[in-house]
Every structure is written in C-alpha cells, then in structure tokens.
C-alpha cells in the first residue's frame, strides 16, 4: 500500500471518528449543569512582593586592558620556502605563524615548526611595520626558536611566571590565526604540566587551555590577566568530536631554552641513555612490579651513563637527584634541569629491592 493511500485512509478514519463523536455529543442529554466558577480571595496577599534578588553573577573579566598591553608585542610571521614539484619545477611555499617580541632590540620567540627550513622570514608588527628576520637558534626537542629583526625601542612583552597558574584561571591566546592578522581568543587553564607527543617528539611542561587555537596561532603568546606571557601557543588536538583542546609551552619551561638559544644559538641537553615508560597500577600488575609509580627502564643504551651506573632494563627509577619521580615526564624534566657532567644520585627499584646508584650525565648525542 502506498504512502499516499495510507494517508488517505487515515484521513477517512479521522473524519469517521469525528462524525461519530459529533453525533454522540449532540444526542447526549446532560444529566446535570456544570459547576459554576467563582473568584476566590483565599490565596490573595495584598502585601506580597517578589523575593529579594540573588547576589549578582560575577561578570566576565574585562580583557581589553590585557589586550592593549600584550598585543603590540605580538607579531605575524610569514615564512617562504622554495621547493620543487614532481617534475622539478620550483615554486614558493608560504607558512603563517606568530611570534612574541621579548625585548626592545628585536629578539622574537616563536615555534621551531614555524621557521624550520625557511628560506625567508618576514615579520609584521601590530602597528603595520614590516621587517625581514634571521634565525638566531632553533630547538626541535622543545619546538622553540628565536629569530631577530633589526630595530630599537620595539614594543616587547612582559615575561611571566607560569608556576603561579591555577586550573580555571582566565587566559588569552593572541596570534596570527589563519594568517589573517592578530586575533584574540579567551579561555581558561584546563590542566597543567601536560606532555603531548607530536610527530615522534614529546613536548613537556605544557598548559592545556580551552581558548580556541587555529593554524597561524603557533608561536604566539598565552597571556594571564596581568598581561604577562605565561605560555607559548604550540599545538592543538584535531580529531572528530574534540573541541577546544589546545596547548602552550609554559613560560618557565621555555625560559632556559630561550636563554640558551640567544646566548649559544643552540640547546644542549644532559643525557642518561634510557628509554622509559610511565609506571601505572595497571602496568605494575601486568609486569608484577613492586611499585605502582615511577619511570620504568624499557631500553638501556650500551656505554651510556645509565649503563655505567649499573642500571638495567625493568628497573624503576623513583628518585633522581633528590626529586621524587612519579612518571616519565618527571624524570625527563629532572634530567633536563641538571647540568652536563653533573653526578646525580638515582634511587631505583629492582624486583622488591630499593637501591641507590649515581650517574654522571653527558651531553645528549645529536643522533
């Protein structure tokens, strides 16, 4: 039976039922009169007023003073790279990003992935002035880079202290979103001290934020409500069903790296020579470990400081240089904060025994 037929039949049934109902209604003799409606003053209250208003909701903070303070130090970064197509024909590829002027002489912090392999770098200031820039130093492990323009009395950002941040605190992400000029998005701090793996490289000391982060924001500042830079926007998660999950490298994590790049043009890291995995209660149960926290050694390189210290695979490092180690991020950051050549005490668990050794850290091999 077609849909149209079904509709017609339904209409006929409705008419039939309606007709029957009408006949019944008109043929029925009422046995009693309906009750009369009377106004009542039972519930009236001449003295009634609206309940007192609740306390006013706290309004959003005024972001305008923060923007006015930080925006002049934010720059648009455009890089050009000459490349070749399948037929060997050359063409120029452009990439847009952001950066932060950190002094009045033209030093700019940005992300390594914004400027790596660039043949030319161009900078536009918030006031419209343009400059060409040169690379001072880059660090792929932290995805940070420092570039420089020639200028004096340039507007620069105030560097803040990210250790004072709290979850729920308001922050602003400012940058050259989509390559269309400097824009601002607001959000809050979602989590602190996060680590994220990006194309095989793990970034540590990240701030997770809800502020919208788009292509072109990379390298721009994350500012607190005092107008201080407390992070460098680095990466966002792009996946179906994922909303507003962006990350910025904390200012305290970035500070020593920036100093090394400006002073030496590169960053050197202390090295222990191990591959690691975070110990969780689930992993501890699966591998029959006697501890449920720490950094499990899953790979140990021959002739490394760890090898010389007598460490083995399946040892769990729980303290490093006096610092408690709960996961891999703790250990990596503790190593990076140490000095090359420094002798470090390491407390580890082997089986059910807790042991102590020491290792002399060396410079991380380049390959």
pTM of the model: 0.78
Nearest to 101 by CA among 140, 52, 162, 155: 155
The SS3 call for residue 19 is helix
Q: Where are the domains of the chain?
A: 64-148, 158-264, 270-363
- Non-local (6+) Cβ contacts of 240 within 8 A are none
- The distance between the two most distant Cα atoms of the chain, rounded to a whole number of Å, is 108
- pLDDT tier at 336, thresholds 50, 70, 90: very high
First and final C-alpha spacing in the chain: 75
CA angle at 181 for the pair 69 and 256, rounded to the nearest 5°: 55
- The residues annotated with a catalytic role in the active site are 113, 143, 218
Q: What pLDDT, on a 0 to 100 scale, did the predictor assign at position 237?
A: 56
> In whole angstroms, what is the distance from residue 202 CA to residue 27 CA?
85
Residue 22 pLDDT > 50:
no
Paired residues of 360 in beta bridges? 343
State both tokens at 9: 């039949």
Hey, do 64-148 and 158-264 end up sharing a CATH topology, with the first three levels equal?
yes
Q: What pLDDT, on a 0 to 100 scale, did the predictor assign at position 24?
A: 39
Q: Which CATH class is domain 270-363?
A: mainly beta
- Non-local (6+) Cβ contacts of 218 within 8 A are 97, 98, 110, 111, 113, 114, 175, 233, 234, 235
Helices (H), 128-183: none
For the ranges 209-223, 228-242, 257-271, the lowest mean pLDDT is seen at: 228-242
Burial 124-161 (b: 16+ CB within 10 A, else e): bbbeeeebebebbbbbeebbbbbbbbeeeebbbbebbe
Note the CATH architecture for domain 64-148.
Beta Barrel (2.40)
Q: Which CATH class is domain 158-264?
A: mainly beta
- 84-97 pLDDT, tens digit per residue, is 888 888 888 889 99
Residue 248 pLDDT > 80:
yes
């Amino acid at each position: 039976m077609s849909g149209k037929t079904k509709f017609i039949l339904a209409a006929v049934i409705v008419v039939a039922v309606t007709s029957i109902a009408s006949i019944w209604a008109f043929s029925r003799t009422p046995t009693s009169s309906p009750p009369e409606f009377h106004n009542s003053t039972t519930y009236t209250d001449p003295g009634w007023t609206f309940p007192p208003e609740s306390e006013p909701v706290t309004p959003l903070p005024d972001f305008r003073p923060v923007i006015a303070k930080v925006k002049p130090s934010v720059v648009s970064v455009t890089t050009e790279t000459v490349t070749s197509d399948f037929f060997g024909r050359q063409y120029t590829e452009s990439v847009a990003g952001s950066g932060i002027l950190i002094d009045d002489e033209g030093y700019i912090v940005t992300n390594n992935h914004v400027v790596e392999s660039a043949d030319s770098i161009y900078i536009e200031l918030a006031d419209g002035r343009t400059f060409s820039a040169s690379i001072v130093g880059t660090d792929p492990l932290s995805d940070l880079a420092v570039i420089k323009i020639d200028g004096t009395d340039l507007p620069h950002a105030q560097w803040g202290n990210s250790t004072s941040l709290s979850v729920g605190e308001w922050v602003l992400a400012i940058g050259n979103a989509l390559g269309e000029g400097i824009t601002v998005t607001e959000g809050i701090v979602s989590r602190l001290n996060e680590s994220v793996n990006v194309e095989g490289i793990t970034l540590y000391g990240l701030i997770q934020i809800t502020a919208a982060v788009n292509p072109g924001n990379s390298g721009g500042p994350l500012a607190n409500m005092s107008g201080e830079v407390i992070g460098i926007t680095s990466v966002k998660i792009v996946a179906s069903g994922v909303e507003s999950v962006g990350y910025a490298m904390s200012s305290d994590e970035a500070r020593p790296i920036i100093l090394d790049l400006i002073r030496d043009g590169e960053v050197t890291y202390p090295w222990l020579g191990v591959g690691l995995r975070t110990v969780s209660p689930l992993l501890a149960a699966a591998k029959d470990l006697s501890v449920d926290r720490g950094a499990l050694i899953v790979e140990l390189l021959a002739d490394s400081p760890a090898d010389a210290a007598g460490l083995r695979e399946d040892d769990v490092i729980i303290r490093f240089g006096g610092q408690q180690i709960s996961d891999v991020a703790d250990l990596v950051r503790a190593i990076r904060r140490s000095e090359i050549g420094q002798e470090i005490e390491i407390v580890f668990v082997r089986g059910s025994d807790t042991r102590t050794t020491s290792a002399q850290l060396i410079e991380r091999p380049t390959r």
